[in-house]
Amino acid sequence: MRDDTPVLDRPRLLVDFNAMVDPDRVLLSREDTKLDSAGNIVELHEGLRVYVYTPDVDDDGTPTNLIATGIVELDRANDWSARVKWCCRIDRWHA
């Protein structure tokens, strides 16, 4: 089986951009650590700059990645996202 998933430009944290809490905030982790795409353990804390991605496919069905950069924030919400401890505040989307 051939893997057509594009190679990432750097180690990134996997997120689900379908789980956006706000237009610029995505759920990140229930735990204080998260594995990046290279297998490194990343210790999460407020203010940490992170690089995130979600695998996707374009309109032609070609695998691609949605990628962004943001800052880790403690999730203080009392809504459906309260089950998650850490979020990422997106400050830049990448093409």
Give the C-alpha separation, 40 to 65, whole Å: 19
State pTM to two decimals.
0.88
* Predicted local distance difference test score (pLDDT) of residue 54: 96
* Domain locations in the chain as residue ranges: 13-94
Per-residue pLDDT of 37-67, as tens digits, reads 999 999 999 999 999 999 999 899 999 999 9
* Predicted local distance difference test score (pLDDT) of residue 2: 45
